[in-house]
Amino acid sequence: MNAGRPGPSLRKDYADYYVIQSRWMDKDVYGHMNNVVHYSLFDTAVNGWLIEHGLLDPHKGAALGLVVESGCRYFSEMAFPDIITAGLRITKIGNSSVRYEVGLFRNDEDRASAEGFFVHVIVDAKTRRPKPIDDSARDALEALLVM
Amino acid sequence: MNAGRPGPSLRKDYADYYVIQSRWMDKDVYGHMNNVVHYSLFDTAVNGWLIEHGLLDPHKGAALGLVVESGCRYFSEMAFPDIITAGLRITKIGNSSVRYEVGLFRNDEDRASAEGFFVHVIVDAKTRRPKPIDDSARDALEALLVM
Amino acid sequence: MNAGRPGPSLRKDYADYYVIQSRWMDKDVYGHMNNVVHYSLFDTAVNGWLIEHGLLDPHKGAALGLVVESGCRYFSEMAFPDIITAGLRITKIGNSSVRYEVGLFRNDEDRASAEGFFVHVIVDAKTRRPKPIDDSARDALEALLVM
Amino acid sequence: MNAGRPGPSLRKDYADYYVIQSRWMDKDVYGHMNNVVHYSLFDTAVNGWLIEHGLLDPHKGAALGLVVESGCRYFSEMAFPDIITAGLRITKIGNSSVRYEVGLFRNDEDRASAEGFFVHVIVDAKTRRPKPIDDSARDALEALLVM
């Protein structure tokens, strides 16, 4: 990613929040949260938010979101037993895709320890082919939209 | 384990509690928490409790606990986004070992969805040889002791 | 581990073998394979063997195996990038349950670094109710049976 | 994924290869490899290659690599029990950083199922401050360099 990128966001730069506990196994041999775990927290925060808001039923829903791209920048370390607040925002709602951005805030810190994103393509649960996001889902997702 | 075993314990059968969130990835292809994840929750609850009570510093401490045996019985399913309360108890404190038992309670349920145990051998952080549990640690661990 | 327990088995004590690579993330802050990972290897070895032998189709099969109990004893450390050979044996085939035992052998070692087991209850894929193991599956599973 | 982006690379577009087995737990509730697991494979392939070539000793080495950025594009599904070949290449060796790119090839397929990257900053193992890559390491890393 390019040199002009801004540094870590603050909590206020996100539209909603989802709290996640760290686990013992999140730490790797270097004593900090392994870089892979951050993506597990992104998945948990976004899917957790979607389920809470009635936008995802992974077992019986007609549609689900598949990740087609993801990324993360790591600014500072996290470790067990940190409590992590995931800040959530959406920066683009396309015809059948959504770009989520997630900041991970360690304990009481106001500056993100890591920031990432992923792009969901919304697909039909059976055919796994892309389908347009319906209006009610679009309205609900706009709660996270940050321009 | 043998036929005479009792069914799942209740919350009151444990001495202290540690709350853990489920994660999206905890679910496997069968749509429930994979049997491996339970052990990650045991580790998190026990080590989390030890750290909170000043009994474990995994980076600088003189002693640490290595797992020499573990086990779990699974009574009913858990899934994301369940909140899991881990009930904690110790049933044996030996010269240099501790047997922890952990019950996992799903959301508001009073009967454990799964119950497991592990045995820590306390070792010197450098030599990794067993060392006796000192008196102050022994006193603190007795808070979890259930006979 | 009580005194009457036998020590680690040898490779020859198992009926078949399944090779698994370790991963970077398998190591925890103590620099060795975390005790949770062993259960992931048990699952992988047994389900891998079942799929290879046409005994499990996790997506379209009429039956699947749910773990109702598991356990492990840890004898010596493993780490990344070890190649692990899982020794497999069955010690009991019940009406609708199977007890698998798995030994984990590090690189060229002949003595298990860890040994565990799990009990599968065979259930109908839709109702998740126990169902009897059919004769052809029983015959195939007997390839792993060690008395 | 924007329109200007190239599609998946072929095996020949990589400089070396590292074979990794999938695991049962890699699959999520949607029946395919969860998007988080890909990053675990990147870490395993790159660190495995570095260890094999004498460029990383995570326990006693004077230097280690910390991930400061990572990303992945997902083109097609993988699942257990696939054998995955990780293609490896380096596209930039800076003063104290290395950009690795990894393609994941499912079984015998020639076109990547997913492609990702991460940037290691080389740090002193004790101070965790960036340090210049020494000449012998630089020479060895050039085996993966693709311009």
Q: How confident is the model over D21-33, as a mean pLDDT?
A: 93
Among A144, A88, A104, CA closest to A21: A104
Are the CB atoms for A99 and A91 separated by under 8 Å?
A: yes
Contact state of A25 with C24 under an 8 Å Cβ cutoff: no
Instruction: Kindly tell me if the per-residue pLDDT of D1 is higher than 80.
Output: no
pLDDT at C58: 83
Q: What is residue B113's three-state secondary structure?
A: coil
The answer, yes or no, to whether residue A43 has pLDDT greater than 60, is yes
Q: What percent of chain C has pLDDT over 70?
A: 97
Share of chain B above pLDDT 70, in %: 97
For residue A67, the Cα-to-chain-centroid distance in whole angstroms is 11
Spatial CA neighbour of A73 closest among A92, A107, A45, A101: A101
Query: What are the tens digits of pLDDT across the range A57-86?
Result: 888 888 999 999 999 999 999 999 999 999
- pLDDT mean over C77-104: 97
Q: Backbone dihedral region of C59: left (phi > 0), alpha (psi from -120 to 50 degrees) or beta?
A: alpha
Question: Which are the contacts of C123, defined by CB distance < 8 A and separation ≥ 6?
Answer: C63, C64, C65, C66, C96, C129, C130, C131
Establish whether the linkage from the previous residue to A81 is cis, with ω within 30° of 0. yes
Q: What is the structure's pLDDT at D132? A: 96
Strand, coil or helix: what is B144?
helix
A126: pLDDT strictly greater than 70: yes
**Is B69 within 8 Å of C40 when comparing Cβ atoms?**
no
How many Å separate Cα B107 from the centre of its chain?
18
- Where helices occur in chain C by DSSP H, the ranges are 37-52, 135-141
- Average the pLDDT over B97-113 and give the result: 98
Tokens of C141: 């599973």
Residue A81 Cα, gap to closest chain C Cα (Å): 13
Q: Are D87 and D71 in contact (CB under 8 A)?
A: no
User: CA of A72: how far to CAs of A114, A120, C78, in Å?
Assistant: 7, 15, 30
Selected residue with higher pLDDT from B80 and B58? B80
DSSP class per residue in D63-120 = EEEEEEEEEEEE-S---TT-EEEEEEEEEEE-SSEEEEEEEEEETT-SB-SEEEEEEE
User: Hey, what are D63's tokens?
Assistant: 């230097």
Q: Which domains does chain D have, with CATH numbers?
A: 11-144 (3.10.129.10)
Q: Quote the mean pLDDT of chain C.
A: 93
- The answer to whether B74 contacts C67, with C-beta atoms less than 8 Å apart, is yes
The answer to whether the peptide bond before residue C81 is cis (omega within 30 degrees of 0) is: yes
B24, B29, B36: residue with CB nearest D27: B29
- What is the reported pLDDT for A3? 44
**C88: pLDDT confidence band, cut at 50, 70 and 90?**
very high
User: Does the pLDDT of residue A2 top 70, yes or no?
Assistant: no
Q: Which residues lie across from A87 on neighbouring strands?
A: A17, A103
Q: Residue B32 pLDDT more than 50?
A: yes
Report whether pLDDT(C1) > 90: no
Q: What percent of chain D has pLDDT over 90?
A: 86
Going by pLDDT thresholds of 50, 70 and 90, the confidence category of residue B116 is very high
The rounded percent of chain D whose pLDDT value lies above 70 is: 97
For residue B100 the two structure tokens come to 């922890």
Q: What is the DSSP string of A101-146?
A: EEEEEETT-SB-SEEEEEEEEEEETTT--B-PPPHHHHHHHGGGB-
Distance from CA of C37 to the nearest CA of A (A): 10
Note if the pTM is more than 0.90: yes
Shortest CA distance from B31: residue in chain D = D29
C48 contacts D81? CB cut-off 8 A: yes
pLDDT value of residue C7: 78
For residue A92, pLDDT over 80 is answered with yes
pLDDT in tens, D43-86: 999 999 999 999 998 888 889 999 999 999 999 999 999 999 99
Higher pLDDT, C102 or D4: C102
Q: Which of B21, B31, B81 is the closest to A21 by Cβ?
A: B21
Residues D51 and C51 sit within 8 Å (Cβ to Cβ): no
Chain C hits for D27, CB-CB cut-off 8 Å, are 58
Q: What is the C-alpha separation between B115 and B73, in angstroms, rounded?
A: 5
- The C-alpha atoms of residue D59 and residue A28 are separated, in whole angstroms, by 12
CA A65 – CA D132 distance, rounded (Å)? 42
Nearest residue of D to residue C19, measured between CA atoms: D21
Q: How many Å lie between the alpha carbon of C39 and the closest alpha carbon of chain B?
A: 6
Q: Out of A54-58, C10-14, D43-47, which region has the weakest mean confidence (pLDDT)?
A: A54-58
Band of the pLDDT at C145, cuts 50, 70, 90?
Answer: very high
Q: Residue A7, class by beta-carbon neighbours within 10 Å (0-12 exposed, 13-18 middle, 19+ buried)?
A: exposed
**Mean pLDDT along residues A93-109:** 98
Tokens 């095996």 sit on residue:
D11
Task: Give me the residue from C40, C51, C59 closest to D31, CB to CB.
Answer: C59
Contact D31, B29 (CB under 8 A): yes
Closest by CA to A93, choosing from A43, A55, A61, A52, is: A55
- Which residues contact residue B118 at a Cβ distance below 8 angstroms, ignoring those fewer than 6 apart? B39, B42, B43, B46, B67, B69, B70, B71, B99, B100, B102, C35
Q: What is the pLDDT of residues A15-37, one digit of tens each?
A: 999 999 999 999 998 989 999 99
Residue B2: pLDDT over 50: no
Specify the higher pLDDT residue, B62 or A78. Answer: A78
Q: Which residues contact A34 (CB under 8 A, 6 or more apart)?
A: A26, A27, A28, C25, D43
Arithmetic mean of pLDDT, B109-128:
96
Closest approach of C2 to chain D, Cα-based (Å): 31
Q: For residue B51, what is the enclosing H or E element?
A: helix B37-52
User: How do B83-93 and B114-124 pair as beta strands?
Assistant: unpaired
Min CA distance, C36 vs chain B (Å)? 6
DSSP code string of C85-118: EEEEEEEEE-SSEEEEEEEEEETT-SB-SEEEEE
Q: What is the pLDDT of residues D81-133, one digit of tens each?
A: 999 999 999 999 999 999 999 999 999 999 999 999 999 999 999 999 999 99
pLDDT-based confidence at residue A5 (cuts at 50, 70, 90): low
Ramachandran area for residue C54 (φ above 0: left; ψ -120 to 50: alpha; else beta): left
Q: Do C27 and A25 touch (CB under 8 A)?
A: no
**Is B29 in the D-facing interface, judged by CB distances under 8 Å?**
yes
B25 vs D contacts (CB less than 8 Å): 28, 34, 36
| A123, β-bridge pairs | A64, A130
Whether pLDDT at B5 is above 70: no
Q: B45 CA to chain A: closest CA distance, Å?
A: 8
- What is the rounded average pLDDT of the residues B119-142? 94
The whole-number pLDDT of residue D5 equals 62
- The confidence score (pLDDT) of residue D3 equals 44
State whether residue B69 sits within 8 Å of chain C by CB: yes
The dihedral built from the CA positions of residue A140, A44, D38 and A113, taken in this order, carries a sign that is positive
Interface with chain A: mutation pick from D25, D33, D39, highest number of A CBs within 10 Å: D39
Among A68, A77, A115, A121, the strongest candidate for a mutation testing the D interface, having the largest count of D CBs within 10 A, is A68
Q: Is the dihedral of CA C28, B98, B20, B63 positive or negative?
A: negative
pLDDT of residue C5: 62
Mutation target among D24, D29, D40 for the B interface, most CBs of B within 10 A:
D29
**pLDDT bucket at C72, cuts 50 / 70 / 90:** very high
Q: What is the ipTM of this complex?
A: 0.93
Mean pLDDT of C116-144: 95
Q: Which of B30, B78, B113, B128 to mutate to test the interface with C (most CBs of C within 10 A)?
A: B30
Region C33-50: mean pLDDT is 97
